[in-house]
Amino acid sequence: MAPLTPRQWPKLLVLLLITLGALLSRVEGQTPQVCWNRNMGDQGVKIPKTGSQIHTTGIAGGSILVSGSDSLGCFEKSGQRRWVFRFDRKTELVADNQTFTYSARQDGVSPFIPESSIGLVYLAASNAVLYALDVGTGELVWEWRESPSTFESVVYGDGRVYVSTTDFKVFALDATSGDALWGTEFRRVSSWTTGFFNGVFVRPDVDGRVWGLDAKSGDLIWQFFMGFEIQYRWDPDLHFHPSGIGFMMDSPSQVWAYNVTTGDILWKVDAREGYRSLIDDGDNRQTFEVWGDLVIAQDEGAIATNPNQYSILQALDVFTGERVWLRDDVYPGLCGMVLSEGLLVYTSFVPQRIDNSASLQISAMGPDHQDVWQVQRDDLGCMGQVQALDGLVFELQFDVRNLTDNSLDASVTLVALPATPSIICPPDVKSPPVIDTDQQATNVSAAPPPPPPPPFVSSDPFCWTQHFSYKPLGSPTSDGVRAYGQDNVGLVLAVYLETGAIAWKATCGPDAAVALYPSNVIVVDGVVYLGCSNMEVQAREAATGHLLWRRPFQLTADRAKYVGEILGFPAVANGKLIINKADGFLRALNITNGEDVWSYDTGTRVTDSVGVRDGVVYAIARDGEDPYLDHYSIIVAVDLDTGDEVFAKPLYPQWAMEHGRLNFLNGTLVYSTSGIPDAQLQAITIGRDGGDIAWRYPITGSSQVYTVLVVPGEDLGLPHAALFYNDGQGFATALALSSEGPTGVMWRLNLSDTATWPEMAGLTTPGSWVQSTYSAGALYIPTTQGMFVVDAVRGAPLWSDLRSRLNAMIDVIERPGLGPQVIYGRYLSTFESNTPQCRPSKPHGGVSKIAMLDARGATDNVDSSSPTNISAPADRPASAPGSRSAPPPASAGPALSPTSFRSPPSPAPAPSPSPSPAQSPAPMPSVSRSPSPAPPVCPPCPAANCSAPAQSPSAPAPVTVALGLSGLPYSLGKADSKLRDRVAGAVEKLVSGKVTGSVRVRVLGVDSAAGGKAAVLRLSLQRSGGASASAVSSAVEDAALSGKLQEAVRAAKVPGNVRSVVVGV
């Protein structure tokens, strides 16, 4: 090549400048402009404070759908509102005539999925009803109301809709009719994101196991174990490659590829390889997209060592997992990514700056993995997965400056912008605002709820189960009459200890929908004290739940950062309630009116449990919840009456927290610290001359020791005290403890050992950050896998309940002659009490089939009250067809028919404590007539030895009736003979007045329906005095169709609605 002449150099320079300008303008000069934006509040779609979901579909010329707390909105590409569908949230009247609204899943989202081949959208609403809606009109096509709880996810595949529920179940329904086809139950809650591909329903759970089910039958095909939590934040879809490869992500950023047909693992990679450090928080989730033969993964967290708080965006080869390219100049991902017009559009969140502000970025990247354009908007965040349709990109945005108390106002905006500058925006067509009272946008009107069920009364003393709205994160307590507990969305329960009946319910809010940790509950002198999940403080009468006073949370001036929770135990002493404040202050409130007595600034972001000794208040304060990121902790002591500082002892470089009861022993406060890499036990002297470290005890090889329990030797029958702790490695340890510190190991127990705990098979390491409870020689250990109970002195296993995790402490009451009454909150929403007479059976396996109903109303599969467990090898996927469990034979007994069309709103729990208003009759039940079974025939034998009851030849054959009652639990119908007698008496009185002669009614038996949630009473109507079979049958049918039968059942004080009547003649 000839050298350039002097005349050519200027031309080359101009060419280079033009090229450079073009490259720069690729990002700077081609930023698309917003086509339109719509405030969702103005459009009648109320967005939950914790999130929303957005989908696009080509149905009806293009539709954008957005879910709200009680609605689903549909918009055209022009931004014009097509329709808004509203549903009634599940509400309940609680103490002081307040109304509590039950939650959806934890992020507040009602998941939904549109299906273009059918033209419907399936909304899994927060009122536990699945709605099928016409996308073009918003009209209701069918609904399914048989879910026992709210929904985690909904997906479509091959003519079926698959819904996962918060009580660990999956149901498959016919997509066009809503008929239930099969149900399967698991031991752990599903991830928010499930998927369907090529005849396989894929369900990851939060404990790290992935399940593949035959989509037609619900039978288990395969499973594999990832070992860590699987929980996506915004992405509503699992991702699959057309070749049949699926992709999964766990919280430590491992990306897995698997064969969807067999469950075989094809490869797994560490998405953070080369970017890890000792101060990683361990939660490095990724957002995904499949782009051709590449898997694009964007880290949702910043690289801890990057001064710009950058994250990584990378491409992995679909077939090998090899890293094709990587960028470490992008901010953390937040609301996912989407493909449009040959570009990858991805979202990023610029972390908080010194002024506490933040920014949202939307970027478009070309196949050369360089950004084509980028939009950055300050003070904005996003929610839901970014979506695309016909060259337009859609995203939900909100103003982060409204985050004053971890909540949002109604100003969530749907934004549309072109994927490339060449895309022409559609006309901006605005719709008039929707007023709350505007019924034109309402597709579902409120209807009177059915009568409430009677108070639950346990058949076994002290054995009962009640339910919160969501997670029972506030540790329970009791006062000898009632047990008290609260969840993380503002519902407080008071339950009678012996019978299990609800004494009262209250809202610890109101509007406590931010799903954060509340305080542990305490009751002192007939008053219940609560730190709510919305950070306010309440005092209520223990007997009635009546609110005595409330103190709303107010952020202290000039305190920009805070932790949104009131964690641990408050304390009552000297007429004061001592409780932490979510911005790092410790405060004393007057127990009479809740007014401030004093306030003490710990200089940190949060304080945990408090304890009082000899006029001094003690607490451990800290800067966060992770020892690897938040290194500052301090032990403070202040005067009980004045709030003046007695001492403040920094613990750096160790870090500590204690949300259990503080441990005082021999003039010291004993606690644990979490350092890097090992934990440490310490004691500090207390008193007005205290503040000195009394002793230190390193725990080599253990980490994540967040709490300890110290038990005096006299309680244990030992000459020394004992210190108990659990660690993040799944071990429980007991140390002998003297005034100088631990003197030796009493025992160390591996809670993961399946030889000791066979029920741990297939479960992850049982971590624990909740304090154990000691009572009468037993140690009760709450963990992420459930409760372990061991001998406190020897460490010998006693029993366990590993049905689901425990995130709060356990309350134990010793009952002479019965043994311990154990009270605890169980994931997701259960409040439970048991004794040795009613302890739960040990679960085994990981999945079981649920009894379902066929077109005849008969059950197939097995009854969920005694599930048949289906298992597959934990380490090697089961893929051979022969390894599937065959369904059990169908039951011939009568059962309720699935309700899919025009059902009434879902039942609300009984209002407490106010009586319920008069109720409207339930809708008409289905009535059918079936031939009566042939009477039993004895084999030739002497009459005296004949096993069938002999009937007089002159006695007319009875008419049989199978009476299905939804809302009447099978267990109650089976156990309560007086209830059965009332039903028989009501039917007898009703029919006898309609026929010539007389009719005697008796209950032959009770069958289970709807998985034990409903009962079918088999009645015999014996005729006499000339009453004909046809007249008796007609009288039953007429009574059912006219609603008289329902009225008679209600008058007999029988819970439930008449939903099916099968007459045999």
Rounded CA-CA distance 21/181 in Å is 61
Selection from 238, 240, 188, 196 nearest residue 216 by Cα:
196
Q: Structure tokens of 832?
A: 């439970």
Lookup: tokens for 276: 């890890």
pLDDT for position 899: 30
Range in 350-364, 815-829, 914-928, 973-987 the model is least confident about: 914-928
The separation between CA 548 and the C-alpha centre of its own chain, rounded to angstroms, equals: 31
- Give the residue with greater pLDDT, 96 vs 458: 96
Three state DSSP letters for 490-557: CEEEEEECCCCCEEEEEECCCCCCCCCCCCCCEEECCEEEEECCCCCEEEEECCCCCEEEEECCCCCC
With 90 as the cut, is the pLDDT of residue 483 above it? yes
- What mean pLDDT value characterizes the chain? 81
User: How large is the C-alpha radius of gyration of the chain?
Assistant: 32
- pLDDT category of residue 694 using cuts at 50, 70 and 90: very high
pLDDT grade for 188, boundaries at 50, 70 and 90: confident
CA neighbor of 149 nearest in space, from 124, 184, 179, 131: 124
CA 1010 – CA 1048 distance, rounded (Å): 23
Q: What is the pLDDT of residue 903?
A: 32
Element (DSSP H or E) covering residue 972 = helix 970-975
pLDDT at 142: 96
Residue written as tokens 């029993």?
Answer: 799
* Position 610 confidence tier, pLDDT thresholds 50, 70, 90: very high
Q: Which pLDDT belongs to residue 232?
A: 64
Sorted by where each begins, the domain ranges of the chain are 926-932+955-1064
Q: Please give the pLDDT value at position 912.
A: 40
DSSP single-letter state for residue 182: E
- Distance (Å, rounded) from C-alpha 201 to C-alpha 193? 12
In this predicted structure, the answer to whether residue 864 has a pLDDT above a threshold of 80 is: no
**% of the chain at pLDDT higher than 70:** 79
Segment 799-831, tens digit of pLDDT:
999 988 899 999 999 999 999 999 999 988 899
DSSP-assigned states of every residue in 293-325: TEEEEEESS--TT-TT--EEEEEEETTT--EEE
pLDDT confidence tier of residue 880, bands split at 50, 70 and 90: very low
Q: Which residue has the higher pLDDT, 561 or 594?
A: 594
What's residue 290's pLDDT?
Answer: 94
Asked whether the whole model's pTM tops 0.95, one would answer no
- Among 675, 577, 574, 662, smallest CA distance to 626 is for 675
Region of 31 (left: φ > 0; alpha: ψ -120 to 50; beta: rest) is beta
Res. 996 pLDDT band, cuts 50 70 90: confident
pLDDT one-digit tens code per residue, 295-329: 999 988 888 778 888 999 999 999 999 999 999 99
Q: Residues 1002-1038: pLDDT tens digits?
A: 888 888 776 677 788 888 888 887 778 888 888 888 8
**β-sheet bridge partners, residue 1024:** 998
Beta bridge partners of 596: 589
Residue 293: the pLDDT is 96
Q: Tell me which of 407 and 609 has the higher pLDDT.
A: 609
**pLDDT exceeds cutoff 60 at 891:** no
For residues 534 and 518, is the Cβ–Cβ distance under 8 A?
Answer: no
Residue 882, both tokens: 């022969």
918-972 pLDDT per residue, tens:
333 334 444 443 343 333 333 343 333 333 333 334 568 888 888 888 878 887 8
Q: Which two tokens stand for residue 139?
A: 């009209």
Given a cut of 60, whether residue 412 has pLDDT beyond it is yes
Contact 74, 65 (CB under 8 A): yes
Answer yes or no: are the C-beta atoms of 359 and 377 closer than 8 Å. Answer: yes
Task: Give pLDDT tens digits for 1039-1060.
Answer: 887 778 888 888 888 887 887 7
| Bridge partners, residue 396, by sequence | 383, 414
Res. 192: pLDDT tops 70: yes
CATH of domain 926-932+955-1064: 3.30.70
**Distance, CA of 318 to CA of 294 (rounded, Å):** 5
Q: What is the pLDDT of residue 352?
A: 65
pLDDT at 402: 63
Whether residue 21 is predicted with pLDDT greater than 90 in this model: the reply is: no
